[in-house]
Amino acid sequence: MAREIDVPTRDSERFRAVLSHERFEEFQRGALEARELLAGRAVWNVNSTARGGGVVELLRPLLGYARGVGVDARWAVIDGNPEFYDITKRIHNRLHEFEGDGGPLDERARRIYEETLAENLAAFAQRVRPGDVVILHDPQPAGMAPGLRPVTAALIWRCHVGVDEPGDFARETWSFLRPYVRHADVCVFSRDTFAWDGLDRDRIATIRPTIDVFTPKNDELSTETVLRVLRASTLVADGTAEPVTFCRQDGTPGRVERRAQLIEDEPLRAETPIVVQVSRWDALKDPVGVIRGFAEHVPAETGAHLVCAGPSVDAVADDPEGPRTLEDAVAARSHLPAAVRRRIHLATLPMDDIDENAVIVNALQRHARIVVQKSLAEGFGLTVAEAMWKGRPVIASAVGGIEEQIVHGESGVLLDDPRDLGGFGRAITELLADRERAERIGNGARERVRDQFLSVRSLLDYLAVIRRIFAARSGGG
């Protein structure tokens, strides 16, 4: 039942070095206002996992920087049994207009959902004081909204998933969730087009996600360190692995000690150009399509290999589909002719130490000649922004939040049809052949993230939403 996660404070002074003078000043003014507006209140964030996935990636820095400027930002994680997570995964898939496991969202599902959240609410509500702000993230804790509304000064439902063209699955799921989320003062979506029909316009806001660039995931790494990290985790195995240290989120030194699990015919060599997709093992990230598209449409003459990497599957508690999706990827690879199969490496990355996992992802993204994200649906797609910040040319599906991030041809390459494996393979092959274009796109990508997708912007956006709610409530709204 709801437990609190410790969030280390982060110092936002470091943004001075990456932001323009005007942007940094704007942030400082926002920080001052936040301190005053939120004095004596906690800002609770509630989600369903402390490890794995984009919401965790978003929350940790936002709460850390908020704490750094003097806001009492907190993080609570709800708990549920496998049945609850089957239902919430079904909801997640359907909000993306996919059927998922095919199970119903009926009265029984509602009962399990509500009972689980009633237990969590009972534990959580004891910690919330009048005057606090609560932000519920995603569908998993949304059912706590009715119980929280009377005991909060502002209640936000933050939906990180969505679909541009909703169909029956999404609409059925909106109906399932609407009785809960209508109790929120404001529902926040990642994209204007994700906002649901039937929600009051003045109770909707859009906040585009952002990344933290001062973390093991995104810190600058020298080429030498990149290779050391890849060798230590055995992703590259062409020499002796030497010890490698990195800077943890709390500033202390960490060491890469654990190995990735690799499904490959022979080890990757440092000089081999690689195309990389990093994702949870989720069918909507389409690892099987990535493997087939690469195998069938990226010729061996390119010399490129594919690395599909994701977390070790026992680690992500709220995602029951992980092991099956990984099995599907392993099977798709194993059915390939040997000559093609040897160019494809599947990697599950150790998750015991999230900072270690992050630095491995960082090194892999930096080492990639091209990063791909061939998702069939995507709320935002943090992996895209992460790779863009590293100056990598990204080839990604023009779906959901990815379209917000990439300006086609300038800061990445968008694929109109995520199921067009030939188009996917051609885009990779062309970009591998044109290093100058790849570099230009990579530079454009970094600038776009600097301008639009750094954590400080999200903090100002949340502040604006909270300010709006306080004004509405004090005016009787």
**Residue ranges binding ligand UDP (CB under 6 A):** 53-54, 57, 217, 278, 280, 310-311, 349, 357-358, 361, 380-383, 386
Distance in angstroms (rounded) separating the CA atoms of residues 306 and 276:
6
Contacts by 31-40 with C-beta closer than 8 Å and gap 24+?
31/69, 31/70, 31/459, 33/463, 33/467, 34/66, 34/69, 34/70, 34/71, 34/459, 34/463, 35/69, 35/70, 35/71, 37/463, 37/466, 37/467, 37/470, 38/71, 38/72, 38/133, 38/466, 40/131
Closer residue to ligand UDP, CB minimum distance, 7 or 69 = 7
Min separation Cβ 361 and ligand UDP, Å: 5
Min separation Cβ 212 and ligand UDP, Å: 10
Closer residue to ligand UDP, CB minimum distance, 325 or 383 = 383
Min separation Cβ 156 and ligand UDP, Å: 19
Min separation Cβ 15 and ligand UDP, Å: 19
Min separation Cβ 382 and ligand UDP, Å: 4
Closer residue to ligand UDP, CB minimum distance, 217 or 345 = 217
Report helix, strand and coil shares of the chain as percent, to nearest 5.
45, 15, 35
Place of tokens 């009265």: 107
* Nearest residue (beta carbon) to ligand UDP: 54
Min separation Cβ 316 and ligand UDP, Å: 9
Closer residue to ligand UDP, CB minimum distance, 349 or 456 = 349
Tokens of 178: 């609407």
Closer residue to ligand UDP, CB minimum distance, 10 or 280 = 280
Min separation Cβ 393 and ligand UDP, Å: 17
Q: Where are the beta strands (DSSP E) in 332-463?
A: 344-349, 370-373, 394-397, 413-415
Contact 283, 323 (CB under 8 A): no
For CA atoms 427, 432, 436, 442, the dihedral sign is positive
Contact 375, 399 (CB under 8 A): yes
Closer residue to ligand UDP, CB minimum distance, 143 or 311 = 311
Closer residue to ligand UDP, CB minimum distance, 359 or 466 = 359
Closer residue to ligand UDP, CB minimum distance, 73 or 382 = 382
Contact 181, 142 (CB under 8 A): yes
Min separation Cβ 298 and ligand UDP, Å: 22
Distance in angstroms (rounded) separating the CA atoms of residues 260 and 312:
8
The amino acid at 241: A
Distance in angstroms (rounded) separating the CA atoms of residues 255 and 223:
17
Cα–Cα distances (Å) from 321 to 138, 162, 311, 317, in that order, read: 18, 19, 13, 10
3 state DSSP class of 389:
helix
Closer residue to ligand UDP, CB minimum distance, 162 or 311 = 311
Query: In degrees rounded to 5, what are phi and psi of residue 308?
Result: -105, 115
Min separation Cβ 311 and ligand UDP, Å: 4
